[in-house]
């Protein structure tokens, strides 16, 4: 993870700004885009619950930075195996460093100090840092006061998850682009029996696309029920 990531190879192409559906989050998206592409733009702290699109937005920022001629690195801290302090200290040499899920290091003294030192180093070098967590800096259980203060001084971008109507619209639009018809009965059943965050729904759409093509069948509730049963 210490080298620049070949993002186009590692993540689906839909994790780009043009595929992010902002809803009420247009201002947050533009703040992240500016930080990714312009060295003089303010650093941003992205806060939002699971399913709000935080990781999508951060990966989009990395790709936008690369497209703008900058170098970028992405470090996901949640579920990291091994020392998170070592991982944080190992990130160096990029114009943009994106650190996802920093709430997962709250209370880890070594990792908090590593993040504090990285913050100061990137500031001194004129590079850019983007952060994300499920909540605002003030709501995190970060024990190091100076780190909490620095994170709180950043531009705060709070993401609101899309509502059900917006998610249904996006899912139907994306399905239509693939030649798949999702009628109201199918969507009603899906939203009752499946996770409703947009990322998971779009992953399911990928599976539906392959399965319906292989079976040469339209997507119905029985087809969807059988597919989900086999996916478990």
| 163-190 burial code (b ≥16 CB/10 A, e <16) | eeeebbebbbebbeeeebebeeebbebb
Q: Residue 10's pLDDT is what?
A: 52
Mean pLDDT of the chain: 88
Residue 163: both structure tokens together: 């509502």
Most confident range (mean pLDDT) of 20-34, 121-135, 178-192 is: 121-135
pLDDT digits (tens, 9 = 90+) for 60-115: 999 999 999 999 999 999 988 889 999 999 998 899 999 999 999 999 999 999 99
pLDDT digits (tens, 9 = 90+) for 11-64: 556 678 877 888 888 999 999 999 999 999 999 999 998 878 898 899 999 999
**What are the strands, taking DSSP E only, across 17-71?**
44-47
Residue 80: both structure tokens together: 């990291």
SS3 139: helix
* 200: pLDDT strictly greater than 90: no
Q: Residue 4's pLDDT is what?
A: 45
Q: Residue 197's pLDDT is what?
A: 76
């Amino acid at each position: 993870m210490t080298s620049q990531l070949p993002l186009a190879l590692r993540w689906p192409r839909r994790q780009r700004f043009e595929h992010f559906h902002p809803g009420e989050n247009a201002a947050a998206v533009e703040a992240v885009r500016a930080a990714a592409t312009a060295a003089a733009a303010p650093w941003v702290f992205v806060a939002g619950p699971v399913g709000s699109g935080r990781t999508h937005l951060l990966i989009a920022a990395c790709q936008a930075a690369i497209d703008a001629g900058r170098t970028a690195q992405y470090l996901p801290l949640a579920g990291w195996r091994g020392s998170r302090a070592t991982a944080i200290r190992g990130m160096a040499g990029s114009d943009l460093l994106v650190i996802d899920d920093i709430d997962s290091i709250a209370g880890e003294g070594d990792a908090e100090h590593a993040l504090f030192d990285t913050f100061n180093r990137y500031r001194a070098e004129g590079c850019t840092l983007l952060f994300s967590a499920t909540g605002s800096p003030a709501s995190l259980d970060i024990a190091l006061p100076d780190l909490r203060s620095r994170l709180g001084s950043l531009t705060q971008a709070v993401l609101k998850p899309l509502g059900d109507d917006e998610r249904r619209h996006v899912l139907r639009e994306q399905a239509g682009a693939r030649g798949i018809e999702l009628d109201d009965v199918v969507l009603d059943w899906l939203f009752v029996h499946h996770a409703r965050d947009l990322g998971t729904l779009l992953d399911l759409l990928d599976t539906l696309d392959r399965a319906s093509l292989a079976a040469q069948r339209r997507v119905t509730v029985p087809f969807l029920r059988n597919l989900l049963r086999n996916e478990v």
